[in-house]
Amino acid sequence: MQTRFVEANGFRFAVDEEGEGDHLALCLHGFPESRFSWRFQMPVLAQMGYRVWAPDLRGYGETEPKPKAMKDYLIDRLMEDVGALIDASGAKKVTLIGHDWGAGLAWAFAANRVRPLERLVIMNVPHPAVMAAQLRTNKAQRKKSWYMFFFQLPGVPEWTLTANDGRAIRRAFFDMAKDKTNFGPEVLERYARDAQRPGAIRGMVNWYRAALRLQGKMAGPWDVIETPTLIIWGEEDAALGIELLDGTEEYVRDLTIRRLPGVSHWVQQEAPQKVNPILQAWLPSLEPSLP
């Protein structure tokens, strides 16, 4: 694995890369994560024949600049980033993999057909149309999603998340995880430090502000996704109820769901020993590229 910097859509994206070939597996992280969250999947995907990219997304980690305005985090702009990264890779085929907010972005990217996709993998985030419906009708989910509304306040979320050396960021991982083995001090330190980079926490929170207040393509309408889609879902997700899977089939033509009992929201980091075999079984292994 190596880290490279990729110029795309006016940004300098920090990208972890492993493997080679013309089929790109592009891994999109969530909140409050970074490219580091795919450390357990990248070697496996590379061994399967994929060229794997895991970027720090707009506003996160070592990717620069970090825009200040909420409008710069509209889903429409974020989809442009993904398209530009794909173009910069030069890949002929793309498999898109996302977790949490990265999965929300992947849903939107696939539904809007920004670029052709071979496969779509979603981890622990519902289809945006299902999420919107649940927030309207499901009181329990609204209670679980309290932080999304808290993040609409000016300034307060940024202070709360980074105070006491990023204590809230550290607790988000450690407290929610069921198996805390992969969330030792050095991992929590990595995420806390990334969130404390200049401009980072404002950008990270602005993903939520733009989604609720500006919406853009997040408001729909939602075309049916024709790309074969796999959902991997840790059932012990403290932020998102398992019922948020219900109705997904209305928006995806070819849908496979794998539920993991006893696993939290941080599914690919907490349980790579369960997630990776699912990826290996569902994704096609690729023939090595000829010289």
Enzyme catalytic residues? 100, 208, 265
Burial of residue 258 (number of CB atoms within 10 Å: 0-12, 13-18, 19+): middle
Dihedral over Cα of 81, 85, 87, 92: its sign:
negative
Compute, in degrees rounded to 10, the torsion defined by CA atoms 195, 111, 236, 259.
-140
Q: Report yes or no: 266 and 234 within 8 Å, Cβ to Cβ.
A: yes
Of 94, 126, 90, give the one whose Cα is nearest residue 108.
Answer: 126
Three-state DSSP state, 8: strand
Closest CA to 83 of 46, 114, 39, 54: 114
List, edge to edge, every strand of the sheet that includes 2-8. Answer: 2-8, 11-18, 51-55, 23-28, 93-99, 119-123, 229-234, 255-260
